Amino acid sequence: MPPNATGLPYDRVWNFSAGPSALPVSVLEEVQRDLLNYKGTGMSVMEMSHRSKVYDSIINGAEATLRRLLKVPENYAIIFMQGGGTGEFAASYLNLFASKSVRDKQRKLGRPLTCDYLVTGTWSKGGLKEVKRLGGITNVVADGVKSTESGAASYHSLAPVSEWNLGKPEETAFVYYCENETVHGIETPSSLVVDAVDPSVPVVCDMSSNMLSRPIDIKRFGAIIAGAQKNMGPAGVTLVIVRKDLLEREEPDTEAVRGVPSVLDWQYYASAGSMPHTPPTFAIYVCGLVFKWAEEMGLEALAQLREARAGLVYDMMDKHPDFYRGVVDKKYRSRMNLVFNLPTKELESKFVAEAAERNMIQLKGHRSLGGIRISLYNAMPLEGAQAFVAFMKEFYAANCQ
C-alpha cells in the first residue's frame, strides 16, 4: 500500500472491516499514552489486578458512563461478560428459563413455554439453531421472505408484520431478534418488533453491530446483548443489559438454575459486579474509553453521522443499480453493513484489489455470500465514506461498459 495515501495520522488505512473494526483514533492515542504506566500506577492495565481499587474505578466508570449514555434505568443491570454474541445465544435462553417470572408462567400454562425467533439472516438463524440444540421449543415468527422462484427463505427484506406468526403471550417465554444482520446487510427497526410484541413478553435483542449508533429506549426490552468488537471496543468482552426482575430466581437448586453454566449466568455476573472471576480487563478498559468518546459525541450526532455515511454509498448504488447491485429492500438497508454485488466475480475481485491499492481494506463480502461489503461503524468518519464513494465513481467510469 502506498504510504500516507489516505492522509490519515499514523499512516492508517480506511478500515471497513465488519469486525473487529476500527476504533476512534483519540481512544487509541489515550491507550497508547497510558499503555506502560496507567495514570501513574507504574503498570499497564493489562498487568493490573482486577481486585485493585484502580481497576474498580475503571470497570465502575465504564458502567456508569454507559448507563448515562444510553439512559439505562436503574431497574436494569449492566453486565460485562465473555463469549461473544454466540455465547449469548445460549445464555439468553438458559437465563430466561431459569427466571422466576418465566417459571411461574410455565407452571400456570402446564407445559413448556415457546421461544419466538424472528429470523432475518445469519445471526438470528444462529440463535434459533442454538436454542433448538439445547432442547428449547421454538416458534419461527418469520424467516426472511419467501423466494418467488424456489420458495426458500431469502434475507433481503422482512415479511410484513401482518404475516408474522407471534406466539400467544401466555405461551411465550421471550421474543428474540437480531437488529442488524452484518452478513446480509439488513437492519430491523426496533419499533417494528417491540410494537408488535405483547408487553408481557420480554424482547431479547442482539445489538452487536449497531450498538451506540443511535438512542435506544431501553425499557422496551427485556434484555439486550452485544459483542463489543463492532462499535464498542476490542474483541473479548460482551455486553448484557437485562431487566433485573428477569434475574430473580426461585430456589437456587432447581433443575433450570443448575442448567445454567456459571460462565453464562447473568445473575452470577450481576451479583459480583461483572467480576465473579477475572474479566477481560483490558477490553473493558478500552470499552470505557469508547463510551466516553461516544458520550462526548452524543448519540444524536452519531445517529446523524451514520445516516450521512450510509446515504453517500446508497446514493451511488441507486444511481447505478445495474452495476452496483444492491439486493436489500430499501426500507431495511443497514446503515452499518452495506452489501452489493458487481456484474461479475472478476469485477468484484478487481474492485477489492484496486480499493486496497488506495488503502481501503476489508471489503470482501462474507464468505457465505460473496460480493462486496462495506462496514461503516461509529469510528468511521464521514471522510471515509466520501473516499469510498469517490473510488466507486472512478471504478464505475473505468469498468461500466
Q: What type of residue sits at position 99? A: S
Cell matching residue 124: 438470528
Is 195 among the residues known to form the active site? Answer: no
Nearest to 85 by CA among 53, 38, 47, 125: 125
From 14, 116, 164, 206, the catalytic residue: 206
The HSE-up count of residue 257 (CA atoms within 13 Å, CB side) is 14
Classify residue 225 as exposed, middle or buried by CB count within 10 Å of its CB (0-12, 13-18, 19+). buried
Burial (0-12, 13-18, 19+ Cβ within 10 Å), 135: exposed
8 Å CB contact between 72 and 78: yes
Q: Which three cell numbers stand for residue 250?
A: 426461585
Distance of CA 141 to the CA centre of its chain: 21
Active site residue 293: no
How many of the other CB atoms lie within 10 Å of CB of 327?
17
Q: Is residue 121 within 8 Å of 183, Cβ to Cβ?
A: yes
Q: How many residues would you count in the chain?
A: 401
Q: Which of 105, 125, 230, 292 is catalytic?
A: 230
Query: Which residue in the list 123, 164, 266, 293 is annotated as catalytic?
Result: 123
147/113 Cα distance (integer angstroms): 31
Using CB atoms within 10 A of its CB, is residue 86 exposed (0-12), middle (13-18) or buried (19+)? middle
Torsion of CA 272, 65, 29, 233, to 10 degrees: 60
Q: How many C-beta neighbours within 10 Å does residue 281 have?
A: 20
Burial of 372 (0-12, 13-18, 19+ CB in 10 A): buried
- Concerning whether 206 is annotated as a catalytic residue, the answer is yes
What is the rounded CA–CA span in Å between residue 281 and residue 5? 35
List, in order, residues 6 or more apart from 26 with CB less than 8 Å away.
293
Active-site annotation, residues: 123, 206, 230
